[in-house]
Structure 1
Amino acid sequence: MAVSGQAADEDLRAVFGESIAVFASLTGPGHVVETANPAFFAAVGRQRTDAGAPLAELMPDLAGQGFLALLDQVYRTGEPCTGRDVRIVLGAGPSAREAFFDFTYEPRRDAGGAVTGIRVIGVETTQVRHAQRLMAEHRALLEEIARQAPLGEVLDGMARSIERLAPQEVLVSVLLADPDGAHLRHGAAPSLPEFYNEAIDGIATGEGVGSCGTAAHRREPVIVTDIATDPFWTDFRDLAGRAGLAACWSTPILGRDGSLLGTFAMYHRTPRVPQDADLALARIFTGTAALAVERHHIEQEKAAAEARAKAANEELATAVRAEQKLRAEAEQRATAAAELAGRMRAAAAAQATRPHPERCELGGAAGCSEPAEVKIADSWGDAAWGCPAHVEEAIINVRSVFIASEELGGLAAYVNR
């Protein structure tokens, strides 16, 4: 019967075959891996030749994570157990990765019903969880863009989201293009050293200017897998070395009209070749960055148009006030001219008996005690004598008034006033 049980396990392995489902048949209280499908060995990072070793020996990193304890429980009680989205850290150190599985643990029994081992069937849900987190993060960024959050805040949040979502360490940088597209300015890079951000702020766009300058120039992604040997990084190699950067994949951020908006870069601490998932992540968030930058430009243009309209309204208001002031001054001059014309008529009537008065006749109701030195007249034939100050007032305010002094001395008094 034991042989039959082993054959059944072999059949199960054959059924699972190259499936993405994880299958392993464990035997004894030590959970020795008797047989397993390729997906199991791939998930735990081992070779198929490792079959026949205890699971704890194959995966010492499982200790303390609860996985082995559950196996012990099923082996001891004979009761099956299921787990959903069980978190397991596979590997250790820089190569460690977080994984999630839906597991079923079924006891294996002999003819007498005694538990002889455990069958483990699982499906890795890591990608599903990552996809869910990706969609949630992406939706949150779109909501920020919709509520017109500051561009710097959106880009910084986007960079941090990608750094959280990436399965391996990545440092994200977003550079924004100047209006002429000739230079790139710092946009967001929360995990890069400040000295590095300051050094590349304002770099030119052009062939061979690092990953970002070249991507902006070419309008296409530029993948540099090893900064230490790539000619694009000749001028920036020492800078990258001080920042601990070994690879940089840059994608241009383009507007709907094809204009350059900036670049989106993913840096790595070790030389790396991008996988399809990396490139897809870059495409998704490059599009999101383009949406955020274009929205920012629209808001800037709107604010500039509103500022121009406000300035034009203020200029119009100033012109209206100036026109009103000029009109009031004109009305004042007209009133003064009418008053002076009246004085001249009164003076002309008085001259019939007194041809050359001693005192100024142009002082109005208040009078003027100054000597009458200059004679003026208007086109209607009225004439009057006045002091130089009142004569000047009459000439300025009454267009038809002219000097009509019969004595040169009077004209000289006006000229030398």
Structure 2
Amino acid sequence: MGIENCRVDFPVLERLIDGQSITYLDSAATALKPRSVIDAMSNYYLQSGVNIHRGKYYLSEEASDAYERVRYSIAQYLGAYGNEIVFTKGTTEALNLVAYGLDLQKDDVVVGFLDSHHAQLLPWRRYADLQLVGMNSEGGIDIERYRELLKLKPKVVVLTHCSNVSGTVAPIEQMATEAKEACDAIVVVDAAQSIPHPHLRIDVSKMPVDFVAFSGHKMLGPTGIGCLYGKSSVLNTLRPLMLGGGMVDWVDAEGSQERKIPHRFEAGTPPIASTLGLGAALTYLNQFSAQESLAHTETLTKAIIDGALKRDYLELLGTKSVTNRCAIGSLRIHGCDDLSDIARSLSDSYGIMCRTGHMCAQPIVDDQMGGEILRISAYIYNTTDEIERFYMALDELVSFLGL
């Protein structure tokens, strides 16, 4: 089955709101779930529902094996080893784990980017001296500023593979290589927005990155589960963010012995059903080739850019090129500072689901747009007709409001 036929796999798209079908344009926040993901989670509860790793009985060992198979399927997808994959609650926890675990000092320099998600800014600011790279005049990454900051010999460089507001896809292989050559910095990649796209797959065996973080719910999986890839030599140096059962080999009255990686970072009972759902999501995505993923993304991206540029009342954040961009459109409506009513009307009157606010990327949104934005983000189940429908609905609302 190709991407063009995948809509039938998503039950939410069968819903009607006041007789209208749903146009879902908020996948950068969370993606819809195909039936196979829902079934994987339901089957776990129907057939087992037990805890893993500790039990020596059949149901526990069966669930443990299924859980660990997901770990190794993710490792294979990334070109990593199984012990380099840590399950987390999501990208945010994964990035916090690294920022905390590296035991940084306040005068250690970390180079980051203005268009990053708050989760890729705030942890580093807490523990170190965060220096930010802004955008260039075309709305892309200011590579020259990045190279200037590398002269400060940062201990860590934190890259965002795809911005959740501009849609810009960063040349992370080139940037990671430059960071290693300049100062052998630890390279941390936020791949939350890129990992859902097969054409943006990261092969850590061929790229000089130390950590990669992503969330299951952005890539068709459930909420509450994510992953941290860590190169074993660096992952071994991290101190765990959380302590408790499951991450120790033994505990006595005087001390304890932590387990080997990755389990020392997975304290407590994990979200087992969500992990199995993540495995099903990866299986689902694997049916699409990089070529069709890229073609579909570029088609949607072109529709978003063209629609914005045709309208004088709109301003689009980021570059105006389809190349190296995801189908994300962050829009400012001239003369409208409060976009809540616009979003509510799009939902209630047209069945179009999109988002307003700062998108957890307030520094770049305020810098580029001067306030809140209206964001649409399209994915594999979207069509160009839906994007055109969004713009036509927006035209009607803007005309009605006299903007």
User: Which TM-score tier does this pair reach, normalised by the shorter chain?
Assistant: under 0.3
Question: Taking structure 1 as the reference length, what is the TM-score of the superposition?
Answer: 0.18
Higher RCO, 1 vs 2 (CA within 8 Å, ≥6 residues apart): 2
Greater share of residues in helix: 1
